[in-house]
Amino acid sequence: MLLRHTTNKVADRHALTVNPAKTCQPIGAMYAALGVHSCLPHSHGSQGCCAYHRSTLTRHYKEPVMAGTSSFTEGASVFGGQANLVQAIDNIFTIYNPEVIAVHTTCLSETIGDDIAQIAAKARESGKIPEGRYVFHASTPSYVGSHVTGFAGMTRAMVDYFAEKCGKKRRQINIIPGYVEPSDMEEIKRIAKLMDIPAVVFPDTSNVLNGPQTGKYEMFPKGGVTIDQLKTTGDSMGTLGLGKLASGPAAHALDTKCKVPCQVLDLPIGIKATDRFVDALRSMAGVNVPDDINIERGRLLDVITDMHQYFFGKKVALIGDPDQLISLTEFLVSIDMWPIHIVTGTPGKKFEKRIRELTSEIPGPVNVKAGGDMFLWHQWIKNDPVDLMIGNTYVKYISRDEDIPLVRFGFPILDRAGHSYFPTVGYRGGIRLLEKILDVLLDRQDRDAPEESFELVM
């Protein structure tokens, strides 16, 4: 395997990425679009781009992901893709009849400069968009950013196109959940419901990419935020954006457009970040925190107390999306684990600064890199080995080569199931995450234990 030839000598690289720690913007845009009810994502570019994005999301969620494509050929690449997109819009509404089409661009359509807003307007003028149906778009070239920025761009487009201010305040809060699993979005809604807070969560992929098996295929499942709900977001009491990179742009756009006050928090992963989320909900809605939520928090504390000896002082290497890594780092530090190698493939110097703040009291050096790759991360691990790795499916190769336990977390997870059904946000999600970490640590302890230390009870 090529990874066995990874050297431990770290070289400064600016123009070369080896084994990237991210994927491209359109995948994130497609995922966000699936969180709108009766929406068909549409890839404005070549057929190959759309096929790759669909297959990656399908393999991660184990659900069929549908999307349209403008199917660029050489002619569209030279003369522009307007004719392809107008025809695609007509075909999609005629054959599949979605309520809305969410168009995202690709490298090719961005490079030739297609004006999607103008093309959509032309399609409406020529009667290709039926009455009561919608087309919106986001600019998502693959040569900048990552799937996280693509998600952020499509989520902001929901605000730009649909949010309205009617002047009459509604007793509801907007929650922008960030780039998380459908199970996490479901958990966020459950917490708001426990606090008796009406919430508009957007996008919302729960019951879309983690729906039940009914024996009948539905191209447009029942889940997802509706266009009518999106229109009401301009009259909400406030907005909570979870994850600065994925949710911040939409939250601030809603504040600018409709004067809805916003707070942008970290993803509620772990006890401290969840505390801040619950407190922000309480404060913004003017309600009390119910006993049910306090009980859940107490259970998480109980698990931490009971199992602390297995977490203490364990070195961890993390790789994944920036919003998730920030909250995950804070959580691990709070239970006395030591995250010492932290890489995200998404660029952004603020990420590095925040991680250094969170790890400032860890003994020994901490390596952190935004816009890094798995090759660099692997080299760091070779120079300073860890007890645990946390990352996506691609980390399994490094895990096997270095004989280090792995907890699968983030995107994509292609070789396991459950992530779309079991949340890792909130207090319940914290317990789930600790269980996963504890299982792999104790499995390793059992594997390596001599006969006289092979214990039946922890």
Task: Examine residue 456 and state whether it is found in any structural domain, yes or no.
Answer: no
Task: Examine residue 168 and state whether it is found in any structural domain, yes or no.
Answer: no
With residue 164 as reference, give the H or E element that holds it. Answer: none
Q: Do residues 401 and 377 lie in contact, with contact meaning Cβ atoms separated by under 8 Å?
A: no
Round to whole Å and give the CA distance between 22 and 346: 7
pLDDT of residue 2: 55
Q: Are residues 307 and 442 in the same domain?
A: yes
Q: Are residues 270 and 333 in the same domain?
A: no
Task: Examine residue 19 and state whether it is found in any structural domain, yes or no.
Answer: no
Round to whole Å and give the CA distance between 95 and 89: 10
Domain of 135 in residue numbering reads as 25-161
Q: Do residues 245 and 324 lie in contact, with contact meaning Cβ atoms separated by under 8 Å?
A: no
Round to whole Å and give the CA distance between 185 and 178: 9
Q: Are residues 413 and 311 in the same domain?
A: yes
Q: Are residues 182 and 216 in the same domain?
A: yes
- Report the number of distinct structural domains present in the chain: 3
pLDDT of residue 394: 96
Task: Examine residue 357 and state whether it is found in any structural domain, yes or no.
Answer: yes
pLDDT of residue 79: 79
| Largest CA-CA distance found in the chain, in angstroms, rounded | 80
Q: What are the start-end ranges of the H helices in 266-319?
A: 271-285, 291-311
Strands laid side by side in the 238-242 sheet: 199-201, 173-176, 238-242, 262-265
Beta bridge partners of 408: 391
Q: Are residues 345 and 417 in the same domain?
A: yes
Task: Give the model confidence (pLDDT) of 78-118 as tens digits.
Answer: 778 899 999 999 999 999 999 999 999 999 899 999 999 99
The domain boundary, picked from 292, 325, 357, lies at 292
What is this structure's pTM?
0.96
The domain boundary, picked from 237, 262, 292, lies at 292
Q: Are residues 285 and 304 in the same domain?
A: no
Q: Are residues 132 and 50 in the same domain?
A: yes
Please state whether beta strands 199-201 and 238-242 pair in parallel, antiparallel, or not at all (unpaired). unpaired
Task: Examine residue 457 and state whether it is found in any structural domain, yes or no.
Answer: no
Strands laid side by side in the 388-391 sheet: 367-370, 338-344, 315-320, 388-391, 406-408
pLDDT of residue 74: 82
The domain boundary, picked from 292, 319, 343, lies at 292
Round to whole Å and give the CA distance between 68 and 46: 11
Q: Assign residue 387 the CATH number of its domain.
A: 3.40.50.1980
Give backbone dihedrals phi and psi of 49, rounded to 5 degrees, phi first: -60, -50
Q: What are the start-end ranges of the H helices in 63-212?
A: 74-79, 82-95, 107-112, 116-125, 147-162, 182-194
Task: Examine residue 18 and state whether it is found in any structural domain, yes or no.
Answer: no
CB atoms within 10 A of CB 359: 21
Q: pLDDT tens track of the chain, all 458 residues?
A: 556 778 888 987 888 899 999 999 999 999 999 999 999 999 999 999 999 999 999 999 999 999 999 999 887 777 788 999 999 999 999 999 999 999 999 998 999 999 999 999 999 999 999 999 999 999 999 999 999 999 999 999 999 999 999 988 999 999 999 999 999 999 999 999 999 999 999 999 999 999 999 999 999 999 999 999 999 999 999 999 999 999 999 999 999 999 999 999 999 999 999 999 999 999 999 999 999 999 999 999 999 999 999 999 999 999 999 999 999 999 999 999 999 999 999 988 899 999 999 999 999 999 999 999 999 999 999 999 999 999 999 999 999 999 999 999 999 999 999 999 999 999 999 999 999 999 999 999 999 999 988 988 87
pLDDT of residue 32: 98
Q: Are residues 260 and 340 in the same domain?
A: no
